[in-house]
Amino acid sequence: MKGKRVLIINRGEIAIRVAKALNELGLVSVGVWTDNETEPPHLEYCQEWVHLKGNNNKETYLDIPKIMTLITDFKIDAVHPGYGFLSENKEFSETLAKKGIIFIGPNPVAVHKMGAKDISKQIAKEAGVPVVPGSIGEVPTVEEAIKIGNKFGYPILLKAVAGGGGKGMRPCYNDKDVRDNFAAVQREALSSFGYAALLVEKYILNPHHIEVQILADKKGNVYHLFERECSIQRRHQKILEEAPSPFIGTDEALRKEICETAVKCAKAVNYDSAGTVEFIMGEDKKFYFLEMNTRIQVEHPITEEITGIDLLANMIKVAFGEPLDFKSQDDIKIHGHAIELRICAEDPITMLPAPGRIVGFETTFPQGIRFDHCIYPKFTITPDFDPMLGKLIAKGFNRDVAIRKIKNALDGLIIDGIKTNIALHKVILNEKTFIKGEYSTSYITTIKPQEKVAAKEEIQAFMLKVAAIEMNQVGGLS
């Protein structure tokens, strides 16, 4: 495995995380840069930098023929797709397999079966895993979607077949909603994932989003690394995650049941990499299979923190046929509690993306903090990419300690020049439903922490800005 050349076909914090793991394992990390991001911070961690020509994602991170040319030209042995972009694209994994290039992820058949949400549901059903009622396969027309809406009863959810991360997904409450949103979700699906097909399912109210981390090797061993709770979401996108789930809490029988169900799903497709089985759990603690993400996920660090297992390194090792760092399910234990906050360039109240230029960045963190990010002063956030800048992760002896640590870390995280959701996270961490651990996915829409985001003490903020500008004028202090 040592010395093999691995192309990272991603950007931002995940490209940095992958590059670090590759370097640690003695592989050659090859990063890319594009014409709409000529100074990406992830290159700092890559041993080789390659130009991926193009001005938008369709011409760069989603352009399979162009990526295949790079692979040939630069003698690449393996590819890590990160998350998003081509990470769950069956055409990409098949093309790589045909050329004999290692895809650091599951085999193409698993990507195909689980990556396409319509087929995955059928497989889960056949494996005896409960699923949410919905369309079987792709829904080609608005009329078809309306028919399903009336069959299962509204609300329903329109979802991109190739989707994930909350993109290309909208709830509809009546026939008119479906008519208004169908074409828009198709367009979002096409621009984000390169594939426009949609599916429809029943929308369960106030569920908990609980997912189980899977790690499997090429010899048929499938392990789980316990669950994560990701119920705090806006626009179906997670903003705060924790492991283990406070909703499952001390119910070890339920924890065992959901984790073993996830292993069953993974085994049904001969899964052989890192992946995540997502479930929704109702108030009655009944859970349904939602989808399986056949890639590394944004929130993987909290699982790494509570289990002590490096998911990225293990994912890379198994792709090259090497053994995992551990030998049995009994080697994997939960130690303490971890919380992750997604730090995004967005308005803390409206939660809409707010691109801009970072002019200042400072961190002062307590013990137990990890910050996976791509931030640096003078970094310009453009509307071309996702607004997530980094992930602040706290590990504590228990949940209370993790909350205490992450609150202190947030006070020490200063990003100047752009709007961020730091102020929103501060409200959530002090809100009683969150502290009790009793929140569901409707948290943002019902508790509305965004409405409690207060304006800062403005005059003091003005003085500090003036001080910074004046320091710049006089060339700083000697």
C-beta of 253 vs 474, nearer to another protein: 474
Binding segment for another protein (CB under 8 A), chosen from 22-30, 357-365, 390-398, 432-440, is: 357-365
Options 325, 333, 442, 464; binder of another protein; rule CB under 8 A: 464
Options 3, 65, 100, 476; binder of another protein; rule CB under 8 A: 476
Name the H helices within 127-234: 142-152, 175-193
Binding segment for another protein (CB under 8 A), chosen from 123-131, 304-312, 385-393, 434-442, is: 385-393
Q: List, edge to edge, every strand of the sheet that includes 102-103.
A: 48-51, 28-33, 5-8, 78-80, 102-103
Binding segment for another protein (CB under 8 A), chosen from 42-50, 253-261, 367-375, 457-465, is: 457-465
Give least dist CB 461 to another protein, A. Answer: 5
DSSP 25-61: TT-EEEEEEBTTBSS-GGGGG-SEEEE---SSTTTTT
Pick the catalytic residue: 295, 342, 370, 399? 295
**Helix pair angle (300-307, 311-319), 10° resolution:** 100
- The size of the interface with another protein (CB under 8 A), counted in residues, is 59
Residues in the chain: 478
40: tokens are: 């990406």
Options 35, 69, 184, 430; binder of another protein; rule CB under 8 A: 184
Helix (H, G, I), strand (E, B) or coil at 307: helix
CB 450 within 8 A of CB 351: yes
Options 42, 117, 167, 399; binder of another protein; rule CB under 8 A: 167
Using CB under 8 A as the binding rule, whether residue 192 contacts another protein is answered as yes
Using CB under 8 A as the binding rule, whether residue 455 contacts another protein is answered as yes
Give least dist CB 289 to another protein, A. Answer: 26
Binding segment for another protein (CB under 8 A), chosen from 91-99, 307-315, 320-328, 460-468, is: 460-468
C-beta of 219 vs 465, nearer to another protein: 465
Is-catalytic flag, 255? no
161: tokens are: 């077949």
Among candidates 54, 57, 42, 56, which has minimal Cα distance to 7?
Answer: 42
Instruction: Determine the number of helices (DSSP H) and then strands (DSSP E) in the chain.
Output: 15, 20
Options 336, 355, 366, 437; binder of another protein; rule CB under 8 A: 355
Whole-number Cα distances in Å, 48 to 51, 223, 312: 10, 34, 20
Among candidates 246, 435, 469, 215, which has minimal Cα distance to 323?
Answer: 215
> Which residues lie closer than 8 Å to 356 by C-beta, 6 or more apart?
345, 380, 381, 417, 418, 419
Options 74, 99, 377, 400; binder of another protein; rule CB under 8 A: 377
Using CB under 8 A as the binding rule, whether residue 462 contacts another protein is answered as yes
DSSP state of 432: H
C-beta of 153 vs 412, nearer to another protein: 412
DSSP state of 155: -
Options 109, 349, 401, 435; binder of another protein; rule CB under 8 A: 349
Options 98, 360, 376, 397; binder of another protein; rule CB under 8 A: 360
Using CB under 8 A as the binding rule, whether residue 448 contacts another protein is answered as no
Which x/- pattern, by CB under 8 A, does the window 399-438 give for another protein? ---------------xxxxxx---x---------------
**End-to-end CA distance of the chain, in Å?**
51
Give least dist CB 414 to another protein, A. Answer: 4
Pairing of strands 28-33, 48-51: parallel
C-beta of 253 vs 477, nearer to another protein: 477
Residues at the site binding another protein, with contacts judged by CB under 8 A: 167, 184, 187-188, 191-192, 235, 347-350, 352-357, 359-362, 364, 377-378, 382-387, 414-419, 423, 453-456, 458-459, 461-474, 476-477
Catalytically active residues are 295
